[in-house]
Structure 1
Amino acid sequence: MLIKAAVFDFGGVLAEEGFKAGINEIAKKNGLDPDSLRKTAFDAVYDTGFVTGRINDRKFWKLFRQTTGISGTDAELTETVLSRFTLRSFMLETVKRLRQAGVKTYILSDQTHWIEDLNQRSGFFTLFDNVFNSYRLGRTKKDSETFDLIINSIGYDPEDMIFIDDHAAHIRRAQEKFLHTIWYTEKHMFFTAMKIFFPELDLSDLEV
Structure 2
Amino acid sequence: MAIADYDIQVVFFDFSGVLAEEGFVQGLKEIGRQHGKEPDAFLREATEICYNNGYADGRVDEHAFWQDVRESAAIATGDADLRREILSRFVIRPWMLQAVSRVRTGATRTALLSDHTNWLDELDAAHGIYRHFDRVFNSFREGMTKRSLDFFRHACDVMQVAPQNALFIDDNPANTGRAESIGMHAVLYTAYPSLVTDLKRYLPAVVLPPEGNVC
* TM-score grouping bracket, smaller chain normalisation: over 0.9
1:202 match: secondary structure? coil
Which 4+ stretches in 1 moved above 2 angstroms? none
Quick check: 1:191–1:207 contact (8 Å CA) kept in 2?
Answer: no
Quick check: 1:141–1:170 contact (8 Å CA) kept in 2?
Answer: yes
Q: What TM-score do the two structures reach when normalised by structure 2?
A: 0.91
**Hey, what's the Cα distance between the residues in 1 that align with 2:196 and 2:107?**
19
Shift of 1:105: 0.7
Q: Deviations over 1:112-156 (max 9, x none)?
A: 111111111111111111111111111111111221111111002
Alignment of 1:9-28 (within 5 A): 9-28=14-33
Aligned to 2:3: none
Aligned to 1:161: 166
2:110 match: secondary structure? strand
Whether 2:210 is the aligned partner of 1:206: answer: yes
Aligned to 2:44: 39
Shift of 1:2: 2.8
Whether 2:60 is the aligned partner of 1:55: answer: yes
- Structure 1 gaps of 5+ residues are none
Aligned to 1:175: 180
Whether 2:75 is the aligned partner of 1:70: answer: yes
Is 182-191 or 42-51 further displaced after alignment?
A: 182-191
Whether 2:136 is the aligned partner of 1:131: answer: yes
Two-structure CA RMSD over aligned residues (Å): 1.5
Is 28-37 or 44-53 further displaced after alignment?
A: 28-37
**Hey, what's the Cα distance between the residues in 2 that align with 1:161 and 1:116?**
25
**Hey, what's the Cα distance between the residues in 2 that align with 1:97 and 1:46?**
33
1:64 match: secondary structure? helix
Q: Which amino acid aligns with 2:43?
A: R
**Hey, what's the Cα distance between the residues in 2 that align with 1:202 and 1:60?**
41
1:120 match: secondary structure? helix
Q: What TM-score do the two structures reach when normalised by structure 1?
A: 0.94
**Hey, what's the Cα distance between the residues in 2 that align with 1:50 and 1:156?**
28
Q: Deviations over 1:22-59 (max 9, x none)?
A: 01111122122101111101111011111011111111
Q: Percent identity?
A: 36
Q: Which amino acid aligns with 1:172?
A: G
The count of residues paired between Structure 1 and Structure 2 equals: 207
Aligned to 1:122: 127
